[in-house]
Amino acid sequence: MNKKIELIRSSLENDLNNIDNISKLNEIKTKYLGKKGLITDLTSNMKELSIEERKEVGKVSNELRAEVTNKLDEICKYLEEKSLNEKISNEQIDISLPSTISKIGVPNILEKVVEELEELLMSMGYDVVEGPEVEKDLYNFELLNLPKGHPARDAQDTFYIDGDTLLLRSQTSPVQIRTMLSNEAKSPIRIICPGKTYRRDDDDATHSHQFNQMEGLLVDKNISLANLKATFDIIAKEMFGNDSITRFRPSFYPFTEPSVEMDISCFNCHGDGCNICKGTGWITIGGAGVVHHNVLDNCGYDSNIYSGFAFGFGIERIAMLKYGITDIRTFYTNDLRVNPTFDRKECD
């Protein structure tokens, strides 16, 4: 019997040392603890033994069974942990692998120009306000010093909604009127208003029946053309580069006096003359002026106390210049170059 036990012990040690996976472990378990296993076998001929021997064999086989069971449990635990760790390390995300690439949209170029202007002017204390696209003739023209029959209306012929009182606004300037009228305290104003505008123009490379403007209005005490020039200087440098030079050219708008065209030195040729500035060295990017006293008075601001300046930019014009777009229709004909999409990695 002792010899049998000896043999079991020595083969057991060897077997336990060689278990390196769960199926091997199960094999060993069966070999020793199974119905026909070696340890079970120790007690198979008990009937033939004396009581003393039975006791002894029973004790030894139980001890051995407990010992093997414990060892196998330990090994089982170790193997399970090992396989879990292997699984975790195999499943780690390999960040060096290229990820799936998807396309995302980015702001439309017109939106980008508007946002740039908004950001700049907000940093200078301007509020962004909105006005309706369906506007009263009263606000779009009359209170802006353009009474019915005024010849300057011709250049801004638009779409009428309701006889001759409601129209699609031909400019963002009526927001000046709305802002001044609604400011009951008649306190100083600093606003910009981006938005869509409409005109009865035949579409061509530089005209569109629908386009975007950004209006600006500043009303306060002692405001002059000099304040407008300084403001325009900052805008030009920010939008077109630090070496931009600005100039005013005399112009006419019924709602400003004096009125000016706002030019910047050509950012392409820096004044030498090229096809972008049509050889002049200058590019016009908007109209402006000192708010006409009639407009202030129409809106309840005492023009003896208050003065102001106003300006209007054509957003498409700025976008075309900045991004080298030669036909305004590009913005409205689903040309993806003005709605750029960029590759984006999925995990970005």
| Segment contacting ligand DAH by CB under 6 A, of 35-43, 107-115, 204-212, 304-312 | 304-312
CB closer to ligand DAH, 28 vs 218: 218
Given 235, 263, 312, 317, the residue binding ligand DAH (CB under 6 A): 312
Given 121, 287, 318, 321, the residue binding ligand DAH (CB under 6 A): 287
CB closer to ligand DAH, 25 vs 288: 288
Site string for ligand DAH, 103-122 (x = CB under 6 A): --------------------
What minimum distance in Å lies between the beta carbon of 94 and ligand DAH?
57
Does residue 311 touch ligand DAH according to CB under 6 A? Answer: yes
Site for ligand DAH in 112-171 (CB under 6 A): 171
Site for ligand DAH in 192-221 (CB under 6 A): 215
Q: Are 255 and 295 in contact (CB under 8 A)?
A: yes
Does residue 174 touch ligand DAH according to CB under 6 A? Answer: no
| Whole-number Å distance between alpha carbons of 111 and 319 | 9
What minimum distance in Å lies between the beta carbon of 176 and ligand DAH?
7
Closest residue to bound ligand DAH by CB:
312
CA 311 to each of CA 54, 125, 231, 264, 314: distance values in angstroms, whole numbers, following the listed order? 112, 16, 10, 14, 10
Structure tokens of 5?
Answer: 């036990």
| Segment contacting ligand DAH by CB under 6 A, of 28-36, 53-61, 62-70, 248-256 | 248-256
Phi, psi dihedrals of residue 227, rounded to the nearest 5°: -65, -40
Site string for ligand DAH, 68-107 (x = CB under 6 A): ----------------------------------------
Given 158, 173, 179, 208, the residue binding ligand DAH (CB under 6 A): 173
| Segment contacting ligand DAH by CB under 6 A, of 45-53, 75-83, 236-244, 253-261 | 253-261
What minimum distance in Å lies between the beta carbon of 323 and ligand DAH?
22
What minimum distance in Å lies between the beta carbon of 295 and ligand DAH?
9
Does residue 254 touch ligand DAH according to CB under 6 A? Answer: no
* Contact footprint for ligand DAH (CB under 6 A): 171, 173, 215, 253, 255-256, 287-289, 310-312
